[in-house]
Chains A and B, each alone.
Chain A
Amino acid sequence: MTSTLELKEDKMLKVQFVGDDDVLNHILDREGGPKIKKDRAQLLVNTQKIIKKPENELEEDDQEVLKDQNYVEVLGQDVQESLKNGSATDGGNKVYPFQNRKHPEKMAKLASELAKTPGKSVSLNKNDPEITIDIPQCSKGKILPQFEFLSTAPRGLRKRLIVPRSHSDSESEYSASNSEDDEGVAQEYEEDTNEDILSQKIQAQNRVVSAPVCRGTPSKKMKRKKTSHLVEEYFEAHSSSKVLTSDRTLQKLKRAKLDQQTLHNLLSKVSPSFSAELKQLNQQHEQLFHKWMLQLHLGFNIVLYGLGSKRNLLERFRTTMLQDCIHIVINGFFPGISVKSILNSVTEVLDHMGTFRSVLDQLEWITNKFKEDSSLELFLLIHNLDSQMLRGDKSQQIIGQLSSLRNIYLIASIDHLNAPLMWDHAKQSLYNWLWYETTTYSHYTEETSYENSLLVKQSGSLPLSSLIHVLRSLTPNARGIFRLLIKYQLDNQDNPSYTGLCFQDFYQQCREAFLVNSDLTLRAQLTEFRDHKLIRTKKGTDGVEYLLIPVDNGILTDFLEKEEEEL
Chain B
Amino acid sequence: RYTSTGCFVFKPNFKKRKISVPIEDYFSKGKNASEDSKLRFETYQLIWQQMKSETERLQEELNKNLFDSLIEFLQTSHSGLWKNSEDWSGEIKLREIPTAALILGVNVTDHDLTLRSLTEVLQNNVTPYVVSLQAKDCPDMKHFLQKLLVSQLMDCKVDVQSKEKESVQVIQKNVHYSMDSLSAWYMNFHVLFDPKMRLKRQISQFLIRMIKQNEIQHLHEFPLILIFGIATSPVVIHRLLPHAVSSLLCIELFQSLSCKEHLTTVLDKLLLTTQFPFKLSEKVLQILTNIFLYHDFSIQNFIKGLQLSLLEHFYSQPLSVLCCNLPEAKRRTHFLSKYIFSISCKREETQSLLENLHVYHTNYFLVLRCLHQFTSFLPKYPLGRQIRELYCMCLEKNIWDSEEYASVLQLLRLLAKDELMAMLQNCFKVFQSSSAKELGNTAKKIEEFLAQFQSLDETKEEEDTSQSQSKGLQKTDLYHLQKSLLEMKELRSTSKRQTKFEVLREQVVSFVDSLVREYLLPPDTQPLHETLYFSSAHTLRQHLNAAPRIALHTALNNPYYYLKNEALRSEEGCIPNVAPDICIAYKLHLECSRLINLVDWSEAFATVVTAAEKMDANSVTSEERNEVIHARFIRAVSELELLGFIKPTKQKTDHVARLTWGGC
Of the candidates B541, B656, B664, the one whose C-beta lies within 8 Å of that of A76 is B541
Answer whether residue A502 sits at the interface, using C-beta atoms and an 8 A cutoff.
no
Partner-binding segment picked from B202-210, B252-260, B262-270, B622-630: B622-630
Residue of B565, B634, B637 near A258 (CB, 8 A) is: B634
Chain B stretch 331-351: residues in CB contact (< 8 A) with chain A? none
Q: How far is the CA of A109 from the CA of B596 in the complex (A)?
A: 15
Q: Interface digits, B648-664 against A, CB 8 Å rule (1 contact, 0 not)?
A: 10011111100111111
How far does the Cβ of A105 sit from chain B's closest Cβ, in whole Å?
9
| Chain A residues numbered 263-298 whose CB sits less than 8 Å from any CB in chain B | 263, 266-267, 269-270, 273-274, 276-278, 280-281, 287-291, 293-295, 297-298
Q: Does the CB pair B644–A418 fall under 8 Å?
A: yes
Indicate the size class of the contact surface on chain A: 35 or more
Interface of B: prevailing SS: helix
- Residues facing B in A90-129 (CB within 8 A) are 90, 92, 94-102, 104, 106-112, 114-125, 127-128
Q: Determine whether A470 belongs to the interface, using a CB cutoff of 8 Å to chain B.
A: no
Most chain-A CB neighbours within 10 Å: which of B10, B17, B27, B548?
B548
Bound-state CA distance A441–B557 (Å) is 13
Within 8 Å CB of B575, what residues of A? 114, 121, 124
Contact call A291/B30, Cβ cutoff below 8 A = yes
Name A250's contact: one of B294, B551, B594, B654 (CB within 8 Å). B654
Q: A91–B279 Cα gap in the complex (Å)?
A: 31
The minimal Cβ–Cβ distance linking B446 to chain A, given in whole angstroms, is: 36
Are A455's CB and B638's CB within 8 A?
A: yes
Select which of A101, A168, A418 is within 8 A of B593 by beta carbon: A101
In the assembled complex, B582 has its CB within 8 A of some CB on chain A? yes
B637 touches A326 (CB 8 A): no
Nearest neighbor of A298 in chain B, beta-carbon distance: B311
From 329 to 360 in chain A, residues with beta carbon under 8 angstroms from any chain B beta carbon are 329-334, 336-337, 341-342, 344-345, 348-349, 358, 360
Q: Which chain B residues lie closer than 8 Å to A435 at the CB level?
A: 542-546, 548
A315 to B590 alpha-carbon distance, docked (Å): 33
B11's partner among A128, A326, A337 (CB-CB below 8 A) is A326
Shortest beta-carbon distance from B562 to chain A in Å: 5
- In this complex, what residue of A is CB-closest to B41? A294
**Nearest-CB distance from A66 to chain B (Å)?**
16
A337 adjacent to B7 (CB under 8 Å): yes
**Is B561 in contact with chain A by the CB < 8 A criterion?**
yes
Q: Are B139 and A360 in contact (CB under 8 A)?
A: yes
Asked whether any CB of chain B lies closer than 8 Å to the CB of A300, the reply is yes
Interchain CB contact (< 8 A) of A417 among B591, B605, B627, B660: B660
* B611 A281 Cβ-Cβ under 8 A: no
Instruction: Known contacts A102-B663, A417-B660; decide if A86 and B654 are in contact (CB<8 Å).
Output: no
A311 to B659, CA, bound (A): 25
Please tell me which one of the listed residues B107, B571, B598 contacts residue A457 in the complex, with CB atoms under 8 A apart.
Answer: B598
Chain B residues positioned under 8 Å from A116 (CB to CB)? 611
B603 within 8 A of A: yes
A501 at the A/B interface (Cβ < 8 Å)? no
Contact in complex: A295, B311 (CB < 8 Å): yes
| Inter-subunit contact A290/B549 (CB<8 Å) | no
Which residue of chain B is the closest to A95 with respect to CB atoms?
B553
B562 adjacent to A325 (CB under 8 Å): no
A454 to chain B: closest residue by CB = B638
Q: Would A306 and B653 count as touching, CB distance under 8 A?
A: no
Per the 8 Å Cβ criterion, residues 583-605 of B in contact with A are: 584, 587-605
- Chain A residues with CB under 8 Å of B574's CB are 121-124
Inter-chain contact A118/B573, CB cutoff 8 Å: no
Given the known A-B contacts A75-B290, A99-B662, A277-B565, are A86 and B298 also in contact in the complex, defined by CB atoms under 8 Å?
no
Contact A330 B311 (CB under 8 A): no
**How many Å from the CB of B406 to the closest CB on chain A?**
20
List, in ascending order, chain B residues with CB within 8 A of A336's CB: 5-6
Which residues of chain A are near B596, meaning CB under 8 Å? 107, 245
The answer to whether B634 and A458 have CB atoms under 8 Å apart is yes
Give 15 pairs: A residue, B residue, CB < 8 Å, sorted on A.
Answer: A81-B537, A82-B538, A104-B592, A106-B592, A121-B575, A122-B574, A124-B587, A266-B630, A291-B315, A298-B311, A324-B16, A331-B2, A429-B108, A441-B562, A454-B634
User: Could you list 10 further interchain pairs (A-B, Cβ under 8 angstroms) beyond the known A104-B592, A107-B601?
Assistant: A95-B664, A98-B661, A102-B593, A115-B611, A119-B576, A255-B626, A274-B565, A328-B8, A443-B635, A454-B634
Nearest 9 Cβ contacts at the A-B interface: A86-B554, A334-B6, A290-B30, A97-B662, A111-B604, A435-B546, A115-B611, A337-B6, A307-B555
Question: Residues of A at under 8 Å CB distance from B?
Answer: 74-78, 81-82, 84-87, 89-90, 92, 94-102, 104, 106-112, 114-125, 127-128, 165-166, 168, 177-178, 237, 243-246, 248-253, 255, 258, 262-263, 266-267, 269-270, 273-274, 276-278, 280-281, 287-291, 293-295, 297-298, 300, 305-308, 318, 322-334, 336-337, 341-342, 344-345, 348-349, 358, 360, 377, 394, 397, 401, 414-420, 424-426, 428-429, 432, 434-437, 439, 441, 443-444, 447-448, 453-458, 554
